Structure 1
Amino acid sequence: MSPQELAKQIFKEKFNRTSTLNVYAPGRVNIIGEHTDYNDGFVMPCAINYGTAISGAKRDDSIFKVYASDLKQFDEFSLAEEITVNPKEKWTGYVRGVVKFIQESCPDFKQGADLVISGNVPLSAGLSSSASLEVAIGKFCQQLANLPISNTEIALVGQKAENQFVGCQCGNMDQLISALGQKDHLLMIDCRSLDTIPTPVPHNIAVMIVNSHVKHDLVAGEYNERRQQCEIAAKFFGVKALRDVSIETFKQRENELIALDEKVAKRARHVITENQRVLEAVEALKQGDITRLGKLMGESHDSMRDDFEITVPQIDYLVELAQLVIGNKGGARMTGGGFGGCIVALAPLDKVEAVRQIISENYEKQTGLKEDFYVCTASQGVVVC
């Protein structure tokens, strides 16, 4: 059963009435452009056909009563009082944070609701289950009280909730693609201007995602540390963000930065070269040059492994296996924040079974972990359904 159907069904069971408002927001996979978003750079994700559904209905008071069906847990808070963190359950922070910051821009928003959340984005896999939840909650609030906020603003509220309420200093990519995704397209996003360039996925190309089952939790320091290192590098170059540093400028001053802090230099090198790779990937896709795109994905993975140091051996092994089959007909790389999670691979449809097979025959034997394999389609962003 789809999350949308499940949310409606469970709402009826838990609240003994029929939902009147149903929204759905997708998760995402990032094809190229990792850790560039919070550096005001470029990313190229697509929304995927896994996401978060919310079914609900108005109450006649200011209470939000929320049931997370996957976790079988309730949370309840009032929109008439200051919204604070519930220290017992992490998931409630994403809901409460979004509602709190929507109230900040729409102070009259006090409409209570009963709602059920149901999702099928694999948790802790780097496919943005949290952003999908934030955007779904934002859209639900907008529709519930007919609030004058756009999908882009909903995405930025979601990012703010994650930064300031949950405590993960993520960029804006995950929320933006969940809010703005286009069916059958990758979306190049300029994370500074928020301009987007939709780029069609070539019709015979599959988007494969393989979950390594090495769990990651980005709030636990490593992500925030990388962000601080990027800020130190930007300060060194005297710019607002690493987006403003060209590869030529970096090379001219690279040794100076290495002498100051070798790790910071490596982080900067990744971000600056990754931004360039995203721009080149857009051109490659426009020309239907899947070989060039695959090469850029490979370079991106090497950079994440060697310069940004966010891959783990299991992820490197999955990329290696996928690449053996794909050859020069596509590419594979780690996707998401790092330290576990998933790889993404693009290849012709006729390569999918061979990629699935080589991974299922070798990965568990080598690592003791069993992968999950998904073939995804590029999907529409948040919708009322």
Structure 2
Amino acid sequence: MNTLSEARVSELFGEFFGSHPKALVKAPGRVNLIGEHTDYNGGFVLPAAINYHTYIALSPRTDRTLRVVAWNFDNADVVIPLTEEQQEDESNNWSNYIRGVVQQLCRAGFTLAGGDLYIAGDLPSGAGLSSSASLEMAVIRALLSLSGEVIAPTKAALLGQAAENQFVGCNCGIMDQLISARGQANSALLIDCQDLSARAVTMPGDWEILIVHSGVKRGLVDSEYNQRRQQCEQAAAHFDQTSLRAVDLGDLLDAEGILDDLSFRRARHVLTENARTLIAADALAKGDLSTLVKVMGESHISMRDDFNITTPTIDRLVEIIAAAGEGQAGARMTGGGFGGCVVAVAPAAVIPRLMAAVSHTYEQETGCVPTLIPAKASAGAFNN
């Protein structure tokens, strides 16, 4: 998979605007190693920022507007006023993420300043690698670079999440924005989504990450993501709690047959996934590959059977990778579900075997064309 460079994005800015940019910022996407649909339930997640980014080359303007150009959308450009009250743009849906961020920054009291922005990214959209959160964090960095204002990384993440929840209309949790803002090189980040505390978990030096795009695109806003969130809230309400984090697994298991089956299975996934995520973080820190392989496999089964967010194609891709790893590769679907990517963690020597198995078997069996994305755990937008 080809990646962009800062130099290339600066060149693209010059080709469009006819001058050199005054600055360039970037924010990474992420892959979640384990901990799916736990973030909005106040649970634990273990993502890593990756070396694929949204880049923004920028220069100041004298008026209070943004002129924004999107390379990934054939240089489509829009003009956005720097006001608190933003209007949705149905003809340029990509710009709504930017409009939402502008709205949240204004509401938070930031002054902001006009600018020309050229946005380009090498994160595939609809893959579950958080291209939207990457865009939001890059836009916050760009706008505050123009105005000379500063923001704490966690505050930036919260404003990005609010933009997506309140303006775009996707009820995402905090994980994607937080890891894009605060990721650390060569480490995953164990995040407690209840209090937003985070601990870097260094990956063993000879382990690598392989992301495989299944060839099945997904879209969170139009998917059943919001429905899953509502189902989790309903299950928590059965126990008079506002979040499943406050529900004990034993109490849930005792309620089987009392709680409706769908709510029970949704909650069982979340509570067991929280436990698996803590086990996985310890295994990663200790270099305990066999435990990591085990809990990643269990995570995928839980997403398939209890949360019902995988697809037969994704299930087959996980099977192919796990079989090729012969016990030395953890594999699971990653992201919100209904398509997107599979993530694998394995020693570097095993990765070529996984890639060969996917290349030789997956498309032939499913008719879907995979994209192999070797990735490194990288620094976040506010740690660059």
Indicate the TM-score class for this superposition, using the shorter chain for normalisation. Answer: over 0.9
Aligned counterparts, 1:197-212, within 5 A:
197-212=199-214
Indicate if the aligned counterparts of 1:207 and 1:375 stay in contact, CA closer than 8 A: yes
Matching of residue 97 in structure 1 with residue 96 in structure 2:
no
Counterpart of 1:122 in structure 2 is 124
1:226-265 equivalences under 5 Å are 226-257=228-259, 261-265=260-264
Q: Name the SS of the counterpart of 1:210 in structure 2.
A: strand
Cα offset for 1:3? 4.1
CA contact (8 A) 1:22 1:384 kept: no
Gaps of 5+ in 1: none
1:307-365 per-residue CA deviation (whole Å, 9 max, x = no partner) reads: 00000011101100000021222310000000000000011111111111111111111
Contact 1:23 1:384 in 2 (8 A): no
Report what 1:187 is aligned to. 189
TM-score (structure 2 length as normaliser): 0.97
Aligned to 2:178: 176
**Would the alpha carbon gap of residues 305 and 105 (structure 1) be closer, same or farther in structure 2, given more than 3 Å must change?**
same
Determine the C-alpha separation between the residues in 2 that align with 1:287 and 1:248: 28
- The RMSD of aligned alpha carbons is 1.3
The corresponding residue for 2:361 is 362
1:233-382 pair list within 5 angstroms: 233-257=235-259, 261-382=260-381
| Worse overlay, 278-287 or 222-231 | 278-287
Q: Is the 1:199–1:285 contact (alpha carbons within 8 Å) kept by the matching residues of 2?
A: yes
Could you tell me which residue of structure 1 aligns to residue 89 of structure 2? 86
Cα pair 1:23 1:383 within 8 Å, conserved: no
Aligned positions of 1:217-232 closer than 5 A: 217-232=219-234
Among the aligned pairs, what percent are the same residue?
Answer: 46
| SS of aligned partner of 2:49 | strand
**Contact between 1:139 and 1:151, CA under 8 Å: does it hold in 2?**
no
Give TM-score scaled by structure 1 length: 0.96
Question: Is this contact kept in 1: 2:334–2:343, CA < 8 A?
Answer: yes
Match in the other structure for 1:74:
77
Residue 168 of structure 2 is matched in structure 1 by 166
State the 1:204 CA deviation.
Answer: 0.9
Give the AA of the match of 2:291. Answer: R
Question: Which deviates more, 300-309 or 146-155?
Answer: 146-155
Unaligned runs of 5+ in 2: none
Q: State the alpha-carbon separation in 2 of the partners of residues 240 and 81 from structure 1.
A: 30
Residue 384 of structure 1 deviates from its aligned partner by 8.7
Instruction: Give the aligned partner of residue 16 of structure 1.
Output: 18
| Contact kept? 2:83, 2:102, Cα under 8 Å | no
**Mapped pair 1:131 → 2:130:** no
SS of equivalent residue, structure 2 residue 293: helix
Q: CA deviation at 1:106?
A: 1.7
**Is the partner of 1:176 in helix, strand or coil?**
helix
Equivalent residues, number: 381
Q: Which amino acid aligns with 1:101?
A: Q
Letter aligned with residue 116 of structure 2: D
Q: 3-state DSSP class of the match of 2:53?
A: strand
Are 2:69 and 2:119, in contact at CA under 8 Å, matched by a contact in 1?
yes
Q: Distance in 1 between matches of 2:277 and 2:317?
A: 22
